[in-house]
Amino acid sequence: MFKPKFNYTHNIVNNLVEITSARELILNAYLVPKWEISLRREALIRATHASTAIEGNPLTLEEVSKLAQGRKVTATRKTKQEVLNYLHVLENIKKYQKDKKITESHILKLHRDITKGTLENPEWEGKYRRIQVYVGNKITGEIIFTPPPSKEVPILMKEFLEWLNSKESSKLHPVLVAGISHYEFVRIHPFVDGNGRCARALATLILYIREFDIKRFFTLDDYYDSDRIAYYSALKSVTQKTFDLTQWLEYFTEGVRVSILRVEEKVLQLSLERQKQREKGQIALTERQMKIIEFIQRNGRITSGDIQKTFNISRQAVHKEIKKLLELEIIEQKGSGRRIFYVLK
């Protein structure tokens, strides 16, 4: 069975301590629902942009944001599809597991959804590779290492997933499990293309399963994209003789630390803005009200008709939901007469 090799260094331990501390602060901070949704949406857009950009997608952050809102962007069909695929995967990350276990079928579906309509050969979608491939730095063209022969992929993935779902894995810090999994997936390189995006999505999925995704407010992909050379160097730091992951995990945990501290700073700023309301406690919203806010976040506005159509409810029920959100000062009314619509306040 796969067994990761690494040593706990001062850097790794200190990073994990800061990460855990920041996580607790963020989870206990006062945030109104619209802020939570805004932070989550921002992280989703940034993660999608960064992860696809690392693989050579030319769309800017602003263009990715427009595409996510359903707006038109001038780009090739493949370019747009790559972004929409990754966005869809992150939005539905929880469906790639069952009872907190990740199976081979989940991995194959993850790859199929990430690469749908973008590969040179559609038959490669959601199927392990049957040819030899090479892992290289797309910036410099340098070959980092040669993955195992294709015939070894099925058994290597089976051993890796057995470890990932094992008691041994459950005893490790979630961030370490995510980091180890990220590297091992890239090392095996089970698919012809899309391995990097799958590895990063897998790390996100693991943090979600282990309840360490901090309400999905932060993204690691942004950290990798900010210095791609450092990202590739960290991957290359693992020698193929010893497979010692220590240096890689120092880099990975540092990335989580930097990313989560940014979120912590933002959360503290938001909390201070509403210090007086802190005494009133969290604002409890129903699932329907949260979805109304998410609709506004995605589309910029919502009308009574939108709510009635989305939830198939009566006009009275719609009025009740709007009244509640207005009273809580989460949304505000714009326009007049039949052109009334609502936006986040």
- Positions marked active-site: 189
Token reading at 7: 């040593």
Nearest to 177 by CA among 324, 16, 50: 16
Mark residue 208 as left, alpha or beta (left: phi above 0; alpha: psi -120 to 50; beta: remaining): alpha
Tokens 């690494």 sit on residue: 6
Classified as helix, coil or strand, 276 is helix
Q: Which residues contact 281 (CB under 8 A, 6 or more apart)?
A: none
Task: Name the amino acid, one letter, at 129.
Answer: R
Alpha-helical segments (H) within 116-227? 153-164, 167-170, 174-188, 195-209, 221-226
| Maximum alpha-carbon separation in the chain | 72
